[in-house]
Structure 1
Amino acid sequence: MKKKKRNISLLAGLLGLSLLLHGTIQAWEADQPCAVTFENGTLPDLVNANVVIDVYEVGNVVPDPSYDTYSFEVDPAFSALDLSTLDDETYTRAASNAMNIVLENEAIEPVAGIGMDEKLDLTNGLYLAVPHGNDLTDYTKQNMRGETYTIAQSPTKEYHFSPILFSLPTKENINGEISTGNGEWIYDSTITLKVEEEPRKGSLEIVKTLDRFDDNGPATFVFSIEAYEDESRETLVYSNVESIVMNGAGQERVVLENCIPIGATVVVREVYSGASYQIVGTDTRTVTIAPLDQPAASVAFENDSNDTDHHGSSVNNRYTYDERQSPNEPQQDFGGR
C-alpha cells in the first residue's frame, strides 16, 4: 500500500467523471482497503484543543465500466446532496449541506471518531469529516452568512473548522486539481484540517480604593487600558479607556468582561484623578489576562484627597480594537460631570 501526503483543496479528492486514464479500464482496485489520517497544518496550539474528527459515510463509489474512474451513490439520508458537478463553490456547499444533515438527524451515527494524526481504516467510499472539540457539548456556530461551522478550544485559542467531504481511493492533488491523466491511485490518504484560529477573550477587573472623600461632588478616576499580544509589547491587540465614579470613600470596581485576548500583557494607567485627589503609590499596573477557568486578571489603584478642595470633570472617550487592530467607533462616557 503506497502512502502519499497531500494537502486538502476545495476539490478534496472528490473525483468526477473527468478522471480518465486513456486506454486503461478500472485500474483502481475496488476491494483494496483504504485509510485516512487527518493532520494539523501550521497551528502549534491546536494540539491543546482536544480535537476529535467524526467521520460519516455519505455513500458508495460506483466503478465506471469504461474508464478508470467512479461516480457516487449517496446514502438515502444524504439524498438532498447534489454531487452532479463539483467545483470549488459547489464542493464547499455540498460539504456544508452534508454536515447540516448530520446535525439535524440524530439517527446518523459516525463510523468512527479519531484524533489528529490517527489512522482510520475504511473501505472505498464517500465520507464526511466533522472536526470539533471533544470536550464541548455545543460545538457549532454560525458565521455572518448563516453557514454552520464547528469549533474547538484550547486554554488560549478558539479554532473554527470547515467540514471536509472526501472520497477513497483518490488521486494526487496538483495545484488544486486532481490529475486527470497521470499518477497512481492513493489508498492511504493524509488530509490537512481546514481550520482558522482566533484568540479567546478574558476579563480585566480594575479596583479603585478612595481613602478620603472631599464632599465636593462625584470623584471621577479615568484609566487607559492597552493590551499587547505578549510581553514584548510590539503588537497592540486592545485599547480602551474606562472610568470609575465614586460618591464617597471606600472601594469601587469596573470589570471589562471577555474582551481582551487571553495571555495578553495589559498595561493599565490612571490618567485622570480629578483636581482634588492624588494617587497613592504607582499610577501604572501590568497584568496578564488569565484563562477563563481562572479568576479574572485584576489591578488595584489607591487615591487620597489632596486637601485642596478643588473640583474637576472628565470625558471618557473609548477606543476598542478588534482582532485586525482596526478602531471601532468611539463611545463617549460623560460620567463625572
Structure 2
Amino acid sequence: MKSLIFKKKNLIAFAMAAVVAVSGFGVYQSQAAEKIDENKQCTITVKVPDTCSLDDKPADSSIVNGISLYDGTLEVDFYKLADVELNGEIGISLAGVDLSDLSKSDVTAEDIKATANEAYKVVKDSAPNYKVEINPSKELSKTVNGDKGVDRGIYLYVVKDFQNKQYQYSFDKYIVMVPYSTTISQGTKVDEHGNIVDVESSDDWVYDTEIALKCKATEIYGNLKITKELKTYNESLGTTPFVFEVEAFYGEGDNKEIVYSNVFSMDFSEPGSREITVEKIPANSTVTVTEVYSGASYKLTSDKTKTTTIVENETSTVEFVNDYDDQTDIGTISIENHFNENGYVDSNINPNSTTTENVETEN
C-alpha cells in the first residue's frame, strides 16, 4: 500500500486527504496513460493521529497521545458526493452538492475545506454511505468497509467530536478521491502545514488511499467554589485568616496525575459566610480541598478535607464551617509557596507568624 502524501512532522499530525487537497479534479480528464481499472478494488484507510494541535495556543503547541489514550469509539462517516468516471473525471453530483470549485485548475486546500463544509450542510441529515469506528486505545488505523472496499468516488468524510479528560477534540471535514493519481494534482501536494509543495507527477492510479485525521484539542474547564461559614467571632483577636489547599488530579495511586495545585486564604473580621471561586480547573478531574489552617482560636466543625468533581462549564462547591474555640491565641499566618518542577504549588505554613505572604486572598 502506498503511503499518504501527507506525513507527520514536529509532533503535529495534520490530516489532508491524499493529493486531492490541491488538485483540479476536472482538469485531469483523460490525460493519464491508462484509464481506471474498474475491476480493481478501492480502499480507504483511516489513520488516527498521535498528536493534536492545541486551540488558542502557539502554532507549534501540541499534546501527545491524547487520542490514543481514549478508550471509546471514534466515528468517521463517509458521504459519497459523486462518482469518479473511468477517465478520472468527476461524475454528476449525487447529493446535490456544488462541486464546481473542485474542477478549477488553481483549486487550493482552503477551497477543498470550504466545499467540504458546504457539502456537510447538505448531507448531515442523511445516512452516510460508509462508517468506520475506531477505538484509539487499541488500534490506530482501520480500513473502511473492511475487505469489501469502497466504490470509486468523491467522498466527504466527517469525524464526530468527542471529549477525553480535559480536552474537547474536533476534526476538519474534508474530501477524498478514490482512486487518485498525482497527475490530477498537476505535480503538487499539501504538506503537514497546509503549504503547497511540488511532487513528481505520476500517471499511476492509486487504489488504496490513506487519510490521516487532522485533530484540534481545546482545553475544557470548570470552576470550584469554596464557601466558609464562621459561626462566632471574637473581635478582640482581630482579623483571622483561613487557608485552603486545592489539588486536582486524574487517576489514583501510581496512575495519579496532578493537573492543578494551589493555596488560597479568606480573611474574617466578623462572623458570617465568605467564598472564593477558583476558575479554570481541568474538567472531569477530582478535586480535594483541605483547610490547612483554621485561624488562631478557631476550630473546624466540619470535615477538614472535602472532595468533589469538576464539571465542564459548571461550578462545583465545597463548604467548611468553623467556630470560636474559647481560646485566645493571637496572630495570623505566613505561607511560602514553592513551585516544583511541574509548576505545582506546595505550601509551608507557619501558624505562629504575624504576616501573610504569597497568599491569594478574596476581600
Q: Same fold (TM over 0.5)?
A: yes
Q: CA deviation at 1:195?
A: 1.6
Residue 174 of structure 2 is matched in structure 1 by: 164
CA contact (8 A) 1:201 1:260 kept: yes
Where do 1:283-294 residues align within 5 Å? 285=305, 289=309
Unmatched 5+ residue regions in structure 1? 65-69, 133-150, 315-323, 326-331
CA contact (8 A) 2:165 2:285 kept: no
Match of 2:322 among 288, 295, 303: 303
1:30 and 1:60 mapped to 2: Cα distance? 12
Cα separation, partners in 2 of 1:14 and 1:4, compared to 1, 3 Å:
closer
Match of 1:51 among 74, 78, 94: 74
Q: CA deviation at 1:228?
A: 5.4
Cα separation, partners in 2 of 1:73 and 1:302, compared to 1, 3 Å:
same
Mapped pair 1:119 → 2:144: yes
Residue 162 of structure 2 is matched in structure 1 by: 152
Point out the more displaced range, 271-280 or 118-127. 271-280
CA contact (8 A) 2:16 2:213 kept: no
Residue 204 of structure 1 is matched in structure 2 by: 224
2:360 and 2:157 mapped to 1: Cα distance? 48
Residue 143 of structure 1 is matched in structure 2 by: none
Unmatched 5+ residue regions in structure 2? 8-14, 51-66, 134-141, 183-188, 193-197, 335-341, 344-358
Q: CA deviation at 1:81?
A: 3.1
Letter in 1 for 2:152: N
User: For 1:20-52, what per-residue CA distance to the aligned partner results, in whole angstroms no more than 9, with x for missing partners?
Assistant: 9xx97225314644232324232223442x432
Cα separation, partners in 2 of 1:7 and 1:131, compared to 1, 3 Å:
farther
User: For 1:236-280, what per-residue CA distance to the aligned partner results, in whole angstroms no more than 9, with x for missing partners?
Assistant: 6445555556687677655546x3224546564546655654567
Q: CA deviation at 1:61?
A: 3.2
Q: CA deviation at 1:161?
A: 0.7
Mapped pair 1:129 → 2:157: yes
Letter in 2 for 1:51: L
Residue 356 of structure 2 is matched in structure 1 by: none
Q: CA deviation at 1:53?
A: 2.0
2:38 and 2:207 mapped to 1: Cα distance? 10
CA contact (8 A) 1:221 1:243 kept: yes
1:201 and 1:268 mapped to 2: Cα distance? 17
User: For 1:58-80, what per-residue CA distance to the aligned partner results, in whole angstroms no more than 9, with x for missing partners?
Assistant: 3343555xxxxx35457352246
1:310 and 1:102 mapped to 2: Cα distance? 71
1:253 and 1:277 mapped to 2: Cα distance? 18
Where do 1:250-329 residues align within 5 Å? 254=276, 256=278, 259-262=280-283, 264=285, 266=287, 268=289, 270=291, 273=294, 277=298, 285=305, 289=309, 301-305=320-324, 307-308=327-328
Match of 2:42 among 27, 34, 41: 34
TM-score when normalising by structure 1: 0.60
Question: 1:29 aligns to what SS in structure 2?
Answer: coil
CA contact (8 A) 2:17 2:212 kept: no
User: For 1:123-161, what per-residue CA distance to the aligned partner results, in whole angstroms no more than 9, with x for missing partners?
Assistant: 2222111111xxxxxxxxxxxxxxxxxx22246542111
User: For 1:271-317, what per-residue CA distance to the aligned partner results, in whole angstroms no more than 9, with x for missing partners?
Assistant: 6655654567997x48574566xx98765555333543868799xxx
CA contact (8 A) 1:202 1:289 kept: no
Aligned alpha-carbon RMSD (Å): 5.2
Cα separation, partners in 2 of 1:86 and 1:312, compared to 1, 3 Å:
farther
Where do 1:23-102 residues align within 5 Å? 25-30=33-38, 32-42=40-50, 43-48=67-72, 50-62=73-85, 64=87, 70-72=88-90, 75=93, 77-79=97-99, 81-85=101-105, 90-91=108-109, 93-102=110-119
TM-score when normalising by structure 2: 0.56
2:178 and 2:154 mapped to 1: Cα distance? 7
**What percentage of residue pairs aligned between the two structures are identical?**
22
